[in-house]
A and B are shown apart, each in its own frame.
Chain A
């Protein structure tokens, strides 16, 4: 075999290895995006559950009860993990929580009820988790897009049929009066 053909074979072998290596990277990043997105979704569901329970605490005034109950219900019945609807519904829930839980005096009054107080602690915890979850998901999406935009990756369609990932654009504001 001539030395030229050896060089060609080595070059082809290297190219194959490189493409497979990039495909592997991409695959792991898609996996990371999926898991972080499901984790975010899990925390959002948990928040819906906590707010629904909060709305059902005896002694909560009927106006709050309706606002919370309605918004939580909307969030809990939605099937999609990530969709514009999901974002819209979760943002509405966030807005209602921020609106109703921004006055420390009012929150203290709600906290007189021991059960409600425990639920507010859980709400703070889950809100912080949602905020982090969203950040970690966005990080993963950015890492992935960086590779997907490379010329060779696009040319050889290494990303396969997977749609380009999209960051979840949620309002993650935490009601100020929840921080005791």
Chain B
């Protein structure tokens, strides 16, 4: 299949949407499809082969933060040219309401168009953006995908119609065969924490408050803390003996993340809020380390409501101590969670997620019908077009 993907945000700055688009494009190419990605990019030199740049993006305040977008007549012309030359079977635009390339592509093209909603927006901004013109562009979208239940809920509330939920993918291959760091967890038990130590939302203090109780139940347990930020203030509350069993790794290189996660008997994610997905949980599960996380909705969903990992009451150190102590005492349950976690993580691997996205493409496309330039619905344009006749299906 020939697939055109539009990323509205700058390719140079790795962010949620552009990382998603890059992973998706590479997964689709591995599956044997032809992929062209249209994105704003400042530097042409380091772009992958499959990216076509629309030039330097402009920084604009949008959706509560500064986004680097591409718009204006020159960008619009480049989009039209890309659509015309691409001869795509499917056009896949991301974040279609961002005032950037995606909405331009919806304007410039017609045919099988798929749109993915990434973020949830509040109503007033949504209505503002959904002015008449944007609405016309949205009418050309045949299939809608939302990356989370939250994004889907906003979409249903403010736009007519439903969306298929397909979550973000995770590249779990790097985590599947991770080896623990030398000497970990060894004959002892260990708990791993990963994240900024001085960011309250990551919840390190919840874990540290629970730690003395856990050590009373399991005196040979150790705590491994990895991530930037200085957690000294939080650790002050520990007794000297408890403090001595804590190892601080500081900031770790991305390629070491897997072996750090694999070094734990248990991985604990005590985050207190602001998490929409929980990629690091899936990464830990992929290494086979059992996961205990706060009962945020996003985490509970990733853990399949207790089947692939345990949860404790958010911000409740006593409950965390109870759940951790219980799991440390039960190697059979740990083995069970390790197996379940691995298979749960595999469901989110990009190869699986990309297949589900291809199913969406296939459910709206007809062999022989290409994405074509749209001559903005003039009366004259309508006269020349007959009915569509599909080619015989050969796939």
Which residues of A pack against B, CB within 8 Å? 20-21, 23-25, 27-29, 31-32, 34-36, 38-40, 42-43, 45-46, 125, 128-130, 132-133, 135-136, 139-140, 142-143, 146
Q: A27-B382, A132-B164 are in contact. Are A39 and B377 (CB under 8 A)?
A: no
Tell me what chain A mostly uses at the interface: helix, strand, loop, or mixed: helix
Q: A136-B364, A143-B160 are in contact. Are A38 and B388 (CB under 8 A)?
A: yes
A34 near B387 (CB under 8 angstroms)?
A: yes
- How far apart sit A146 and B160, CA to CA, in the bound complex (Å)? 10
Supply 18 A–B pairs (Cβ within 8 Å), ascending by A. Answer: A21-B377, A24-B377, A24-B378, A24-B382, A25-B136, A25-B139, A28-B110, A32-B140, A34-B388, A35-B388, A36-B364, A39-B112, A39-B364, A43-B362, A132-B143, A133-B364, A136-B143, A142-B161
Least Cβ distance of A32 to chain B in Å? 6
A38 near B369 (CB under 8 angstroms)?
A: yes
A132 near B359 (CB under 8 angstroms)?
A: yes
- Tell me the residues in window 310-353 of chain B with beta carbons closer than 8 Å to chain A beta carbons: none
Chain A residue numbers with a CB within 8 Å of B30 are none
Chain A residue numbers with a CB within 8 Å of B40 are none
- How far apart sit A29 and B143, CA to CA, in the bound complex (Å)? 13
- How far apart sit A159 and B152, CA to CA, in the bound complex (Å)? 32
- Tell me the residues in window 103-143 of chain B with beta carbons closer than 8 Å to chain A beta carbons: 110-112, 136, 139-140, 142-143
A42 near B366 (CB under 8 angstroms)?
A: yes
- How far apart sit A36 and B366, CA to CA, in the bound complex (Å)? 8
* Chain A residue at minimal CB-CB distance from B362: A129
Is B360 an interface residue, CB under 8 A from the partner? yes
B374 near A28 (CB under 8 angstroms)?
A: yes
Chain B residue numbers with a CB within 8 Å of A45 are 393
Chain A residue numbers with a CB within 8 Å of B112 are 35, 39
B393 near A142 (CB under 8 angstroms)?
A: no
Least Cβ distance of A45 to chain B in Å? 7
A139 near B110 (CB under 8 angstroms)?
A: no
B390 near A23 (CB under 8 angstroms)?
A: no
Is B365 an interface residue, CB under 8 A from the partner? yes
Q: A25-B136, A28-B110, A46-B393 are in contact. Are A140 and B377 (CB under 8 A)?
A: no
Least Cβ distance of B98 to chain A in Å? 21
Chain A residue numbers with a CB within 8 Å of B364 are 35-36, 39, 132-133, 136
Chain B residue numbers with a CB within 8 Å of A143 are 139, 160-161
Chain B residue numbers with a CB within 8 Å of A42 are 366-367, 390, 393
**Contact among A24, A31, A46, A132 for B360, CB-based, below 8 A:** A132
- How far apart sit A58 and B186, CA to CA, in the bound complex (Å)? 53
